Amino acid sequence: MLPRKSYARVSVHKRRTMAKATRYQPKSKRRSPDSVRTLISRSQIQKRISEMAQEIRRDFPVEPLHLVGVLKGSVFFLTDLARQITGEVSIDFIAVSSYGSNTRSSGEVKLTRDLDSSIEGKTVIVVEDILDTGMTLQYLLRVFEQRKPRRLRVAVLLDKPERRLAKVRADYVGFTIPNEFVVGYGLDYSERYRNLADVGVLTLGKQRKK
C-alpha cells in the first residue's frame, strides 16, 4: 500500500496521462435524429384487420385456410389476422429479399427461406405487409402457382399503387397509402422500427440521407 504522499502523486500523474490521451480525440460528427410521423394508428390497424378477417371468411366460409407470411415484415400482421379468422387456420412462412439498407427497392428478388410444407390442394392466403412495386409479389405468385394450390389469394396490410411496376393486385387490402417510406408494425428501415405499434412515415436525419 502506497504512502499518502505517493498515492497523491500517482493520482495526479494518472489524471495528466488521461488528459493527454483524450485531448486529441476527434469530435464525433453530430447527426440529426430520424423522425417518424404516425400515418395509421394501432387502433385503426386492429379495426381494419378484424374487418379483413371477416371478408376472408365470407369468401371461404368453412374450408381450412393456409396463411403464408412473407418474412420479416408480415409477422405482426399475420399473427393478428390469424387470431381474427374463425375456423381452421394453418400457418407457414417464406422469406425473400428485395430491400437493402436503402429506402428504395433494389428491384432484385431472391428467395432466402422456403416453405416448410407443401401447399398443393390448399386454399392459400399470401400475407404481405406492403404491396409496393409488386415485384416481390409477382415473383412469389409464380412460385406458388407452380405448386398447385387449390386457391391462391393475397392479403396486404398496405397498398402503395403509385409505386407499382408489376401487374399484380391484392384480393384483400388494409389501407391504401401515398408514396411515402413507412415503418412500424413489422415494416423496417435497415432492421429498425419494426416494433412500433403504429405505421408511420420515416424521415431520415441529415447524415443518414442518401
Residues 54-100 pLDDT 10s? 999 999 999 999 999 999 999 999 999 999 999 999 999 999 887 54
CB-CB contact of 38 with 148 (8 Å): no
CA distance 172 to 73: 17
pLDDT along the chain (210 residues), means of 10: 42 43 46 89 98 98 97 96 98 83 62 94 98 94 96 98 95 97 96 96 76
- At residue 9, the pLDDT reads 44
Q: What's the sign of the alpha-carbon dihedral 200, 47, 126, 168?
A: negative
CA distance 139 to 111: 9
Mapping DSSP onto H, E and C, the string for 86-136 reads CCCEEEEEEEEEEECCCCCEEEEEEEEECCCCCCCCCEEEEEEEEECCCHH
- At residue 110, the pLDDT reads 83
Q: Which of 132, 171, 188, 198 is catalytic?
A: 132
- At residue 31, the pLDDT reads 61
Nine cell digits for residue 8 = 497523491
Residues in the chain: 210
Catalytic residue list contains 171 = no
